[in-house]
Structure 1
Amino acid sequence: MKKFLTIALLLIVSNLAAAKEVKTDLNTLAQDYFTKMMATQAPNATAQDIENFLALMTDDVGSTHLPYVTDDSRQPDGKAQMRQGMSFYLGAHTEYSAKILNTFVFNDTAIAVRYRNSAKGIHPQNKQPINYTSTMMDVLEIENGKIAVIRKYHE
């Protein structure tokens, strides 16, 4: 009887442990990232759109956007730094559109999202017109279901 109870308890404990291990669907995360990123660039973007986007990230997220930002070091306040940078540009666009061209999933550690975007607006610092169309690829490193590093590349 003791053997039976021991085996039953081991099975229950192992099933509970397995139930807590949640696998992140990286295709869904890629789409979520793109949708929430687009919302932060829209002419009517809000601080809440930035928060929705940042909710996908680790607190120490690292980010590059070559050639403008070259250091992707993860810092304890990485999310706060990203929030500050994104808030500076919030509402700078009068027009914005983007379309996913491809997504690539690399096991459970990385995603690449390739997209074409275009924007018009006024740069908040130098007040010069913004007008661009570009093809981008964001490579996202994933850690425990969250985005830990973002690397933006221009084609």
Structure 2
Amino acid sequence: MKLLLTLGLGLAVSFSAHAEKELDLNAFAQQYYKTMTATQAPNAGAKELEAYLALLTDDIGNQHIPYQPDDSRTPDGKEQMRKGMSFYLGAHTFYKSTLLNTFVFNDTGFAIRYKNDVKGIHPQNKQPIEYTSTMLDVIEIENGKVAMIRKYHE
């Protein structure tokens, strides 16, 4: 009897694990892009930043080639992102982004390619900034959250 109960419980747990809805990476990629670009808008604030950070693991790794070659993941990765991104919030006076491509890689990640048109004032040196860039972000997923971000310029 104990064997049947154990077997039944094991099957129930197994089926419930498979019944969990898999993450739709196409939809998640769109949400990620929309939430990430919202942090760059001229009126972006803590609300937009926290919505973006909610998509990330606590130990997020972030690599921005060639400026930030280190791809280490640390326990305070999300807090480091919060600090770094807070410094630049509201620096743009104009921001437009266009999603060019989305690529999904099974259930482990996706890449988004997009074009940014930016104008603003650099928060540190107070100099005007203006640029257009095409970016490729390669995103790795763990347990339904972004665990690694790798940014490349075209």
| TM-score of the aligned structures, taking structure 2 as reference length | 0.91
> Which residue identity is paired with 2:105?
F
Residue in 2 that maps onto 1:106 = 105
Would the alpha carbon gap of residues 154 and 13 (structure 1) be closer, same or farther in structure 2, given more than 3 Å must change? closer
Within a 5 Å distance, the mapping from 1:58-97 to structure 2 comes to: 58-97=57-96
Tell me the CA shift for residue 86 of structure 1: 0.2
Deviations 1:29-81 (A, max 9, x none): 11011000111000000111111001111000000112221111000000000
Would the alpha carbon gap of residues 5 and 130 (structure 1) be closer, same or farther in structure 2, given more than 3 Å must change? same
Q: Mind listing any 5+ residue stretches in structure 1 that lack a counterpart?
A: none
Tell me the CA shift for residue 18 of structure 1: 2.5
Number of aligned pairs? 154
Residue in 2 that maps onto 1:139 = 138
> Which residue identity is paired with 1:40?
T
* Distance in 2, Cα, partners of 1:65 & 1:3: 54
* Distance in 2, Cα, partners of 1:2 & 1:72: 49
Task: Give the secondary-structure state (helix, strand or coil) at the position aligned to 1:151.
Answer: strand
Residue in 1 that maps onto 2:52 = 53
Q: Mind listing any 5+ residue stretches in structure 2 that lack a counterpart?
A: none
What is the RMSD computed on CA atoms of the aligned residues?
1.9
Q: Percent identity?
A: 67
* Distance in 1, Cα, partners of 2:92 & 2:133: 15
The runs of at least 4 consecutive aligned structure 1 residues that moved more than 3 Å come to 1-14
Would the alpha carbon gap of residues 151 and 15 (structure 1) be closer, same or farther in structure 2, given more than 3 Å must change? same
Tell me the CA shift for residue 10 of structure 1: 5.5
Residue in 2 that maps onto 1:123 = 122
- 2:17 corresponds to 1:17: yes
Task: Give the secondary-structure state (helix, strand or coil) at the position aligned to 2:32.
Answer: helix
Residue in 1 that maps onto 2:150 = 151
Tell me the CA shift for residue 138 of structure 1: 0.3
* Distance in 1, Cα, partners of 2:102 & 2:65: 20
Would the alpha carbon gap of residues 4 and 72 (structure 1) be closer, same or farther in structure 2, given more than 3 Å must change? closer
| TM-score of the aligned structures, taking structure 1 as reference length | 0.91
Residue in 2 that maps onto 1:26 = 25
